[in-house]
């Protein structure tokens, strides 16, 4: 819930001074905020001479982050990751960019820190999930708009979806979908409608009563109709009725519960300068040369995540043709590295001299392929300078061998970030 009293001066960020490369290395080496010491290892490719620092540099606890981030999306990192780099490598009003925006973690964290967010994603779903949280309405506005929308009108439904939803719930969802698509068609979507669309998209399927559906996989994935039918049979379950409006309002309150008035005012002031693009990350002419101070991102990994399958139901709700979304889905390491080289060339173009790229590659393929060894040569080819690798770990026990620990191989307890500099 927002505070009733406005704060005249927003809170200052932790690092008022932008760190030089030397200062950053020194701070990472001495870092002990969580009472752990930094270990320094050699890069796994002997031809590359950059340090690998291992420590708990930020917590992964969800409650430590702002409530605005609590929108599920597959393969997304925690907000503490971009905050670590934003507060050290940028100043207020600097441009912070994510070329694989996803649910918008980097751009929302940048805005909360009084930086100018720039984001890109080839999937238009990304803007639907991100944009409303950069310009959030008041709870009373959401409540009044929901009351004005008739979700009980007779409506033809998609019968296949009855494996997920009670018939009356599906009718409500379909009515809401038609209302929003009509508003979109005539250019009448305002920030309240956009917020309701974002929350509804996030509540389509999940594994608790806080979602519109019967029990299914976590909300960052949508199983197929056949798979859901098997889940229902195995669990002997039928979809219960859900109150769509009540669920949207409850989730809205949760998302806004930590938003202070000073933060809401800050977001509004930054919103007009925010730029979100639906495009391929290696071709962004909308972004001018030499303007971005910091990039924080995580690229599509080697055929680990199927974004089309995970988001098919969300795309249906929003009228998005998944066949027309050319998401990078690369299984060959050479092809992946080539695509990253093209990306880095584009990032070099838009970065200011001395600007940074924090490139998170938390997943490896069964512990056999370390994406760091593909990223660094691609960055060098593009003309970027590899500065360091940061391995953030909450459950790391054998610092003597970073490259052979099981909990690192699956990317479940760590983030691995290659820091590059122009």
- pLDDT tens figures, 223-273: 899 999 999 999 999 999 999 999 999 999 999 999 999 999 999 999 999
Q: 360 — alpha (psi -120 to 50), left (phi > 0) or beta?
A: beta
Same structural domain for residues 265 and 242?
Answer: no
Least confident of 5-19, 41-55, 70-84, 263-277: 5-19
Of 21-25, 29-33, 219-223, 368-372, minimum mean pLDDT range: 368-372
Instruction: Give the pLDDT mean for 366-378.
Output: 76
Is the domain of 32 the same as that of 64?
yes
Q: If DSSP codes are grouped into helix, strand and coil, which group holds residue 5? A: coil
Taking the C-alpha atoms of residue 214 and residue 231, their distance in angstroms, rounded to an integer, is 10
- Residues 369-405: b if buried by 16+ CB within 10 A, e if exposed: ebbbbbbbbbbeebebebbbbbbbbeebeebeebeeb
Residue 4 lies in a domain: no
pLDDT bucket at 371, cuts 50 / 70 / 90: confident
Which carries the bigger pLDDT value, residue 279 or residue 327? Answer: 279
CATH code where residue 333 lies: 3.40.50.150
Do 172 and 104 lie in one domain? The reply is no
* Domain-embedded: residue 14: no
Mean pLDDT for the chain overall: 87
Same domain, 109 and 162: no
What is the pLDDT averaged over residues 113-134? 96
Contact 374, 313 (CB under 8 A): no
Give domain status of residue 300, yes or no: yes
Same domain assignment for residues 370 and 269: yes
* Residue at 7 is within a domain: no
Which residues, at least 6 apart from 269, have a Cβ–Cβ distance to it below 8 Å?
Answer: none
Count each helix (H run) and each strand (E run) in the chain, helices first: 15, 9
Q: In this structure, are 277 and 218 located in the same domain? A: no
pLDDT for the residue 162:
98
pLDDT at 295 over 70: yes
Residue 163, domain extent: 139-254
Q: Can you tell me the mean pLDDT for 54-75? A: 82
Q: What is the pTM of this model?
A: 0.89
pLDDT class for 323, splitting at 50, 70, 90?
confident
pLDDT tens sequence across 133-166: 999 999 999 999 999 999 999 999 999 999 999 9
Query: Looking at the structure, do residues 360 and 230 belong to the same domain, yes or no?
Result: no
Tell whether 214 and 299 lie within a shared domain.
Answer: no
Residue 351 has pLDDT above 90, yes or no: yes
Residue 42 lies in a domain: yes
Claim to verify: residue 45 and residue 168 sit in the same structural domain: no
Contacts of 44 (CB under 8 A, 6+ apart): 370, 372, 373, 403
Q: Is residue 320 part of a domain?
A: no
31: phi then psi, degrees, rounded to nearest 5: -60, 125
User: Do 103 and 146 have their domain in common?
Assistant: no
Q: Are 265 and 250 in the same domain?
A: no
| Pair 196, 239 in one domain | yes
Q: Domain boundary residue among 219, 235, 254?
A: 254
Examine residue 146 and state whether it is found in any structural domain, yes or no: yes
Q: Is the pLDDT score of 329 beyond 90?
A: no
Where helices occur in 222-355 by DSSP H, the ranges are: 225-235, 244-256, 261-271, 307-310, 312-317, 333-350
Worst-scoring range by mean pLDDT, 8-22, 59-73, 182-196, 280-294?
8-22
Model pLDDT, residue 305: 58
Asked which of 254, 279, 295 is the last residue of a domain, the reply is 254
Extract the runs of DSSP E, i.e. beta strands, from 88-222.
Answer: 95-98, 116-121
CA gap 180, 188 in Å, rounded: 9
Looking at 218, 234, 254, the residue that finishes a domain is: 254
Domain count for the chain? 2
Assigned domain for 130 exists: no
92 or 219, which is more confident = 92
């Amino acid at each position: 819930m927002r505070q009733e009293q406005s704060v005249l001066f927003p809170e200052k960020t932790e690092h008022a001074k932008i760190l030089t490369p030397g200062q950053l290395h020194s701070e990472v080496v001495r870092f002990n905020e969580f009472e752990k010491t930094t270990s320094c290892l050699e890069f796994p490719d002997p031809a590359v001479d950059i340090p690998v620092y291992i420590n708990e540099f930020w917590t992964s606890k969800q409650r430590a982050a702002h409530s605005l981030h609590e929108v599920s999306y597959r393969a997304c990192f925690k907000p503490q990751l971009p905050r670590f780099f934003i507060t050290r490598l940028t100043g207020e009003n600097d441009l912070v960019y994510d070329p694989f925006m996803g649910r918008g973690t980097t751009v929302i964290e940048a805005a909360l820190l009084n930086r100018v967010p720039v984001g890109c994603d080839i999937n238009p779903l990304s803007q639907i999930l991100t944009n409303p949280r950069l310009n959030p309405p008041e709870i009373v506005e959401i409540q009044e708009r929901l009351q004005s929308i008739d979700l009980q009108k007779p409506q033809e439904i998609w019968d296949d979806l009855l494996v997920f939803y009670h018939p009356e719930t599906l009718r409500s969802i379909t009515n809401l979908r038609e209302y929003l698509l009509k508003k979109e068609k005539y250019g009448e979507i305002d920030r309240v409608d956009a917020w309701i669309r974002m929350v509804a998209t996030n509540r389509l399927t999940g594994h608790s009563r806080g979602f519109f559906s019967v029990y299914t996989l976590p909300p960052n994935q949508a199983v197929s109709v056949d798979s859901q039918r098997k889940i229902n049979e195995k669990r002997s379950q039928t979809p219960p009725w859900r109150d769509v409006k009540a669920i949207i309002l409850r989730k809205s309150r949760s998302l806004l519960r930590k938003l202070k008035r000073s933060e809401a005012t800050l977001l509004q002031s930054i919103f007009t300068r925010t730029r979100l693009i639906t495009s391929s990350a290696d071709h962004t002419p909308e972004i001018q040369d030499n303007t971005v101070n910091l990039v924080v991102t995580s690229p599509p990994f080697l055929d680990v995540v199927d974004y089309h399958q995970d988001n098919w139901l969300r795309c249906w709700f929003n009228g998005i043709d998944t066949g027309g979304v050319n998401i990078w889905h690369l299984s060959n390491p050479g092809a992946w590295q080539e695509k990253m080289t093209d990306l880095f060339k584009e990032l070099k173009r838009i970065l200011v001299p001395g600007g940074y790229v924090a490139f998170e590659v938390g997943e490896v393929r069964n512990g056999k392929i370390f994406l760091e060894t593909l990223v660094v040569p691609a960055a060098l080819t593009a003309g970027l300078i590899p500065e360091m690798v940061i391995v953030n770990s909450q459950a790391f026990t054998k610092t003597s061998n970073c490259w052979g620990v099981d909990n690192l191989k699956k990317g479940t307890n760590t983030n691995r970030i290659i820091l590059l500099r122009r």
